[in-house]
Amino acid sequence: MIAVILVGLYAVWRWPARHAVAPGDAARGATLYETLPCASCHDISRPWPGGDICPNLGNIATEAARIILQPDYHGHATDAAGYIRESIVDPNAYIVPGPSYRQADGQSVMPKTFGQSLAPAQLDDLVAFLLTRR
């Protein structure tokens, strides 16, 4: 019996990780992106890094997957969707290096209110949209 449990646990541990799929609607997320202040600071037509005010998000899904593996990442996300969500609701969890991305006190220039002002479904939609930016 113990051998069966151990083999089962090993199989689960060795099972290839699946890519997270955001439960939101990317089309609604695109509309949100354009109507919220996101588009006034983030450029989604150009790849990360770069951006005068905030990081470019043209390839945020790819960069998010890379960032969570970096030794200087100390957030809680384990996949790209989680990183994007975390960046929206807790912009200080990881601040992308850049000359203008921090305030004088070291905090992110991104507003910290989106976790409260966005409904959970809106957040899901926004994450789903940003996951399309590869």
* pLDDT, tens digit, 9 for 90 and up, residues 27-56: 999 999 999 999 999 999 998 778 888 899
Average pLDDT over residues 80-97: 95
Q: What do you get for the CA distance between the two ends of the chain, in Å?
A: 46
Residues of the chain above pLDDT 90, percent: 69
Q: What is the predicted pLDDT for the residue at 124?
A: 97
Q: pLDDT grade, residue 20 (50/70/90)? A: very low
Where in the chain are the domains? 25-130
- Return the structure tokens found at 111: 């507003």
Identify the CATH assignment for 25-130 out of 1.10.490.10, 3.40.50.300, 1.20.1090.10, 1.10.760.10.
Answer: 1.10.760.10
- Residue 100 DSSP symbol: T
Buried b or exposed e, range 25-57, using 16+ CB within 10 angstroms: bbebbbebbeebebeeebbbeebbeebeebbbb
Sign of CA dihedral 129, 81, 122, 38: negative
What is the residue type of 112? K
Determine the residue type at 95. Answer: I
The predicted model scores a pTM of: 0.80
Inter-helix orientation angle 80-89/60-67, to 10°: 90
Write down the mean pLDDT value for the chain.
85
